[in-house]
């Protein structure tokens, strides 16, 4: 979700989506939810009130320093990537119960290709998955990464070990949703929820000027037409294998901050 426009469309559509698709559990990436960079405790509370059960994040999770206080008091509703170095606040994985009473594990991992150096996402992922599988077979992984190859590799690496590997970070939805041979649902990028007439949710004029001049420009969240991108995943809770993954793309015109 990018800024207030992204939050507004979630508030307007999520309840209908839950009813239409009989959704048991909602996970959303919130690292750009507050002004396009980071997330504040106030916005975390807002998003949870909309009906989102767990929020994942990525490299921008630290942009709003006040979020540290949230990590200190709540380690279940907001995750930060598990492969940040030891000693960072918060946690990268959690097991919670769905509306139907089934347990689900959520793991947040960040990639290393074209991004800051962190602990190995693959070794961290398998270590965390082994822990989660002691409590549940239903596990979703948010792989927050720049490189398509790294996300695809993570999907194959975890096929049969988790229910779903879902990519975030690049904001552009991909059309490669699939069920891998061992039952893991996969998509390279879910896509953003934010302004359509933009460059990844930011005012296009500013970004174009940055490319033309190569001078620093402060990005600002775009307004106007807004889209919501998501995937709906069906999982057999007995086996943890996914049976379907469906891309969802919806828009509402003129949703303003």
| Strands, sheet with 185-187, edge to edge from the N-terminal-most edge strand | 93-97, 103-110, 139-144, 164-168, 185-187, 178-179
Annotated active-site residue in 60, 144, 169, 171:
60
Q: Are 127 and 54 in contact (CB under 8 A)?
A: no
Shortest CA distance to 103 belongs to which of 41, 63, 66, 53? 53
Cα–Cα distances (Å) from 8 to 25, 46, 50, 64, 255, in that order, read 20, 10, 10, 20, 7
Token pair recorded at residue 152: 């695809």
Q: Residue written as tokens 């048991």?
A: 24
Beta bridge partners of 168: 144
Beta bridge partners of 179: 185
Catalytic site residue 60?
yes
Sign of CA dihedral 56, 166, 174, 156: positive
For 196, phi and psi rounded to 5 degrees?
-75, -45
Which of the residues are catalytic? 60
């Amino acid at each position: 979700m990018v800024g207030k426009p992204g939050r507004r469309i979630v508030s307007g559509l999520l309840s209908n989506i839950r009813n239409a698709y009989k959704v048991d559990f909602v996970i959303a990436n919130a690292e750009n939810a507050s002004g396009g960079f980071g997330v504040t405790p106030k916005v975390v509370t807002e998003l949870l009130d909309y009906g989102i059960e767990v929020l994942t994040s990525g490299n921008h999770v630290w942009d709003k320093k006040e979020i540290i206080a949230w990590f200190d008091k709540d380690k279940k509703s907001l995750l930060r990537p598990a492969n940040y170095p030891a000693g960072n606040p918060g946690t990268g994985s959690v097991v919670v119960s769905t509306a139907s009473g089934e347990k689900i594990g959520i793991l947040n991992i960040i990639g290393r290709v074209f991004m800051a150096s962190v602990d190995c996402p693959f070794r961290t992922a398998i270590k965390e998955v082994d822990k989660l599988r002691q409590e549940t077979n239903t596990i979703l992984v948010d792989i927050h990464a720049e490189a398509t190859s790294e996300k695809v590799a993570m999907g194959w690496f975890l096929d049969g070990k988790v229910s779903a590997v879902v990519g975030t970070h690049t904001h552009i939805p991909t059309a490669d949703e699939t069920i891998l041979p061992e039952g893991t649902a996969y998509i390279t990028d879910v896509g953003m929820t934010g302004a359509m007439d933009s460059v990844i949710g930011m005012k296009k004029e500013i970004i174009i000027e940055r490319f033309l001049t190569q001078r620093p420009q402060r990005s600002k969240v775009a307004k106007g037409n807004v889209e919501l991108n998501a995937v709906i995943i069906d999982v057999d809770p007995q086996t943890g294998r996914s049976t379907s993954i469906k891309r969802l793309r919806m828009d509402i015109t003129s949703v303003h901050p």
